[in-house]
Structures are given as structure tokens and as C-alpha cells.
Amino acid sequence: MLSEDRYFKTLSEDDLWKRYCGFFDLSIDAFMDIQKELLMDQIEMVSDSALGKKIMGNQKPRSVEEFRQMVPLTTYEDYEPYLSERREDTLAVKPYLWCHSSGRGGSFKWVPHSAQSVEKAVRSYLAGAILASCRRKGEVRLAPGTRILAILAPPPYASGEAFRALSQIFSAHMMPSLETAETVEFQERIAQGFKMALRYGLDYIGSLASILVRLGEVFTEQSGRMKFSLFMLHPGVAFRLLRAWLRAKLEKRAILPKDIWQPKGILVSGVDTSIYKDSAAHYWGVVPLELYGGTEGHTYALQGWNRKGLTFLADMVFLEFIPYEEELKPQDNESYQPSTVLLDEVEEGKLYEVIITQFYGMPLLRYRLNDVVKVIAMGDEEAGINLPQIAFQRRVGEVINLGGLVWLDEKTVWQALYNTAVKFIEWAACKEYDSDQTFLRLYLELNEERDADEVANMIDEQLKLVDTNYWELHSSLDLKPVRVTLLSPGTFRHYTEEKGREGADLAHLKPAHMNPPELHIQRLLHFSEVGNEK
């Protein structure tokens, strides 16, 4: 029996909930006690390691306050070349695994994780599955043998390593298998995962919300053109397809994924989660539960069972926060160190950049994630949670400033675009200058016929509703700062194919949504022009 399986075999439902989701019941004082105790353990572990000395010097902080005063804020460059070369001799603890992020500019960031940190991470994923499928506080519907459709990046990406670690200590059937995920392209992985789900059914889905919705759209569009194959003769496949056909027929509509599968829960992450959650529920029958995490620390926060704000976990990483006003202060020299606050000092309604220190002997100290979160409430009275509630907002620097009055981030632009109900494939946005004015230029590939000016007007109207500052800019300057360039069908597909031929990794196949390099925009325009000539 795998190590986590035994808890599901022996513990009561109440005890299982406490084991995996008990962090929701912490007071802020108890949360901070855990944080500070684990930080002091961490200092003790890493202070004599090569990387620990490189970052902290030869002095060992004796308190949390000393640690924050003595140790500078760090970025990945401070750990080069030790981590990129995976130099285990410079670490305090032998890592259990290494995983890498998508990186920026095409370069990976390799991050080690100890056995203890991986164990904590797996427990957080089990918590996420419990929360994604429960209908009330304390309910546990997760059980060993669960079937998971994983539409995620494979190992050594953090998401792939997470599922690998999960399968080693908890009985879970991954669809597709981890071996398949590591050897075939993304589209083939999805196809194989769906074939397995058709045959055996599924209990949980892990994905990005936008990908889940797009798959739902494609599935529904193609359901009416489904051709017979021998695969359909399998009893499980035939049963699911017949049941789906009958449901759709009774409701006089196309077949939706939820007609074939009834997943217990869906776990998603990413800036697009709040935008697509209703559409995901329409196609898949379940409102997704959001996880905020990353390569450096696995899971940072989980949404509660009522699908509102996210709550930080106390035992994953030590948390600090740079108030957004600190980011806006003039920084005339590179040695400027923004001040930070702890979780018991954050304020409702404010934006913060997240700083983490890894626990359990791993090397990242006061590390800037470049993530910005918003504190949306100081607790959740409905759920009985007495810890700050947050929402992931954006990455640092992924903002387009208009007229010095408006800062549009990816989430805001995406929400406005989604609210227009215009059917689009992909998009990219950048700032454009015209005389002494600045504009938001959107490069859009649509899935329907529209006029560029019409789409620009629709986005402009939605931005007024989504962003108060945008409305004020509009009214004070009598300016419509949205311009749209429509790209020909297949533009983003051709861009992705070319990047694939060049050997680009999965995470770098598409241009960034916000402020992509000029070269990437020129590539999009080139493929659009070629498409128009055909």
C-alpha cells in the first residue's frame, strides 16, 4: 500500500479533512508561528552550505527580523551558475528532484526540491483534489484509485514532476501515463488522454482554464461529425457515447464533454482562471477550483470549497510581500532594496509582489517570484476562514501603461476581451505611440468574421467596465486608446509550428500576451500576411 493510501483506508472523513485541509482553520497568529519556526529551522540548515554563505554571508541570523534585515532580496541570477548546472555539492540537503520553469527569454530556471518539500507538495495536491470535489466543508470524496486527466506540461516541468511524485505515494491513474507524457507532443498527449478517459472514465482534471474551455469548444464543434471506429465498440466507450447522445438529444443541443464525463473535481491554475471558470463549468459540468503555485515552491495558496479567495499554506515557503507602492518609488540605484511586510501586515485591497524563502534545506532565500497578488479580503466569514484572502493578479512588468493614468495587466485585457463574446483563437498586446498619445494595440486572430474597428469599440467599452481608471482616462482625455489588428486564420498555428521546428520548448511556442518582443510581433504579421495571400 502506498504511503498516503493508508490514511484514506484508516482515517475518518473528519480526520482526513484535518490532515489535508486543516490549514483553513488556522488563526493568523498560529499561521505566523508556523512560518517563523520553519524559517529558523531553514536558517540553521542552509547557513553552512556554499549557496547559503553566498547569499547570507558568514553571519547566521538569530531571528526572523535579523534575517529580513541582513539577507538581501534575490533573483535567479544570484544562484547562477550553481542551480543551472545542478550543483548538488553547493546545497545543504541532497535534493529529491530537480524541476524547471518555463523561464523568460527561452532559458530555463532549474530549482531543486528536497524529499520533505515534495512530501508537503503532494499533500497540498491531495488537498486541492479534496477541495475541488467537496460540496461542503469537511466532505472528502477523493479515494485511492482515482483517475486523473492531466492536461499539463510533462516532467521536468513542475506540474509534471508533481504528478509523478503524487503517483509514487498515492494510487492515481494518470491519463495519459507519465511515460507517454514525456515522449509525445502536447496535442498527441491530449488525444491519448481523452481516449483513455473515454474507455475508463475520469474523476479529476488538471489543466489551465483557457485550455479546458478551448478543448470543450472543439469537442462540441466536432461531436456532430464524429465518425464510427472500432474503438467505439469497447463497452465503456459505447456506454458513454450513447448516454451523451441521449442527454444532448433530450435537451436539443450538441454533445458537451459533461454529457460523456461527470468529473468530481477540476483543479486549475493561471491568470485566466477567474475569466474562464463559468465557461469551463458550462462544458465540463464542474466549477474549477483554483491553485496558485510555481516551480520554486509548488503550491502557495488554494481556493476554499466556496470558490472565492485563495488562502496561503503556512508550511510550504516563508512568505514576504513588497507593497506595490514600493515598486513605484523612484529607484535611482541598483542597490535599492524595497521594504517587505509579512502576511499579518498586509492590507485589504492592496497589491503585493510575492517574496519566498524555501523551507526544508533548499537554497532560495528571499527570492522574488515576480508575481503580483491582490489581497481581496482579510478573511472569509462565510467559510469561517480567518486568514487573508488573495487573488493572483499578474507577473511583474507585464503591464501596459496608458497616459500615466492606467496600468493594464494581462488579466484586465483578457477579461475585457472575453466579455465582448467575440470568438478568438489567440491574442497579443503592446503599447503603441502616435504623436504624443499612447495606445493599446491588440493583435487578434478571430474565429469569426468581424471588423477591426467594431472589435476595438467593443473592447474599449468593456475596459471601461472592468477598469475604473480606464474609464476616467476615457472621460478626461476624450480618447479611445484601443486599436486592433486582425490576423489571418492560422497565424498563431504557423507561429507555433515554426518555433517548434526551431527547437523551442513547450512554454515558448507562443508569444507572450503582454509586451511581446518586437521580433515576435513581426513574425505574427509575417504569417498573417502569408495567410492573406493564400
Looking at residue 480, what is its pLDDT? 76
Residue 113 lies inside a defined structural domain of this protein:
no
Q: Which residues, in sequence order, are bridge partners of residue 204?
A: 148, 265
Q: Which residues, in sequence order, are bridge partners of residue 428?
A: 443
The domain spanning residue 408 has which CATH number? 3.30.300.30
Whole domain around residue 462: which residue ranges? 399-533
* One domain, residues 230 and 169: yes
* One domain, residues 146 and 280: yes
Residue 47 lies inside a defined structural domain of this protein:
yes
Residue 152 lies inside a defined structural domain of this protein:
yes
* One domain, residues 209 and 258: yes
What's the pTM value of the predicted model, to 2 decimals?
0.86
Q: Rounded to whole angstroms, how far apart are CA atoms 96 and 112?
A: 8
Looking at residue 344, what is its pLDDT? 97
Residue 514 lies inside a defined structural domain of this protein:
yes
Residue 298 lies inside a defined structural domain of this protein:
no
Residue 295 lies inside a defined structural domain of this protein:
no
Read off the C-alpha cell for 301. Answer: 495558496
Q: Rounded to whole angstroms, how far apart are CA atoms 129 and 172?
A: 12
* One domain, residues 422 and 367: no
Q: What's the distance, CA 121 to chain centroid?
A: 15
* One domain, residues 64 and 38: yes
* One domain, residues 269 and 137: yes
Looking at residue 161, what is its pLDDT? 87
Q: At which of 335, 360, 395 does a domain end? A: 395
Looking at residue 124, what is its pLDDT? 96
Output the tens digit of pLDDT for each of the chain's 534 residues. Answer: 578 999 999 999 999 999 999 999 999 999 999 999 999 999 999 999 999 999 999 889 999 999 999 999 999 999 999 999 999 999 999 999 999 886 555 568 899 999 999 999 999 999 999 999 999 999 999 999 999 998 888 888 888 888 888 888 999 998 988 777 777 777 788 888 888 888 899 999 998 888 888 888 877 776 656 665 655 667 777 888 888 888 888 888 888 999 989 999 999 988 888 888 888 999 999 999 999 999 999 999 999 999 999 999 999 999 999 998 876 665 556 667 889 999 999 999 999 999 999 999 999 999 999 999 999 999 999 999 999 999 998 888 788 888 667 888 899 999 999 999 999 999 999 988 876 678 899 999 999 999 999 999 999 999 889 887 777 666 655 667 899 999 999 999 899 888 878 766 666 778 889 988 899 999 999 998 876 665
Looking at residue 427, what is its pLDDT? 93
* One domain, residues 477 and 413: yes
Give how many domains the chain has, as a whole number.
3
Q: Which segments within 383-436 are labelled E, that is strand? A: 389-395, 399-402, 406-409, 424-434
Q: At which of 395, 425, 460 does a domain end? A: 395
Looking at residue 378, what is its pLDDT? 97
Residue 111 lies inside a defined structural domain of this protein:
no
Comparing C-alpha atoms, which of 359, 361, 368 is closest to residue 317?
359
Looking at residue 188, what is its pLDDT? 82
* One domain, residues 324 and 257: no
* One domain, residues 375 and 479: no
Looking at residue 404, what is its pLDDT? 67
Q: What's the distance, CA 471 to chain centroid?
A: 29
Structural contact between residues 454 and 439, judged by C-beta atoms closer than 8 angstroms: no
* One domain, residues 141 and 245: yes
Looking at residue 219, what is its pLDDT? 77
Looking at residue 208, what is its pLDDT? 84
Q: At which of 395, 428, 457 does a domain end? A: 395
Helix (H) or strand (E) holding 267: strand 265-269
Q: Which segments within 270-423 are labelled E, that is strand? A: 289-294, 298-303, 310-312, 317-323, 351-358, 367-377, 389-395, 399-402, 406-409
Looking at residue 154, what is its pLDDT? 81
Residue 148 lies inside a defined structural domain of this protein:
yes
* One domain, residues 149 and 249: yes
* One domain, residues 155 and 210: yes
